Amino acid sequence: MTLDIILIILGAAFIIIGILGCVLPVLPGVPLSYIGIVLLHLTTRVEFSTTFLVLWGLIVIAVQILDYYIPIWGTQKLGGGKKGAWGSAIGIVVGMFIIPPWGIIIFPFVGAVIGELMDEKEFKIALKAGLGAFLGFVAGTIMKLVVAIVLAFYFFKEIIYILIN
């Protein structure tokens, strides 16, 4: 029983930190939320199905991959070319290390703009590509929040069930 309480408290902490990590790029929000679900599953009081755990594990992996791809895709959708997409991708990586967490928000935009300017495109077109990178970042953040909130729902639904019974 004591181990269950520790696992539940740790799981709740991971769920909450996971939600925060969806808006603070320095934390891997969705994987942390998933760890919270796994910790709850390890208790003697809650048992998620294998299908549930595998499905959500795959969703978490897909969201993590898409989170890095969507700003690049946004750059291309708003008129950016290969250099703008590469600039956005390089900006994501550089932004993680230069000034986290803000770097991962700002640098894809800056990288896309610089990439487009290197391709000798007009400043207006370069800014539009940068906007695509920023909108891609926002879309990725919303996607992560939705997944983390759904995982939090399942977690706290089970906690409420434990408390009632």
Give the separation between CA 119 and CA 121, rounded to whole angstroms. 6
Specify the DSSP class assigned to residue 102. T
Question: Does residue 137 surpass a pLDDT of 90?
Answer: no
Query: Which of the four pLDDT bands, split at 50, 70 and 90, describes residue 78?
Result: confident
What is the average pLDDT value for the chain, to the nearest integer?
88
Question: Does residue 121 surpass a pLDDT of 70?
Answer: yes
What is the Cα 76 distance to its own chain's centre? 20
A 10 A CB-CB count for 9 gives: 11
Question: Does residue 27 surpass a pLDDT of 70?
Answer: yes
Query: Which of the four pLDDT bands, split at 50, 70 and 90, describes residue 25?
Result: low
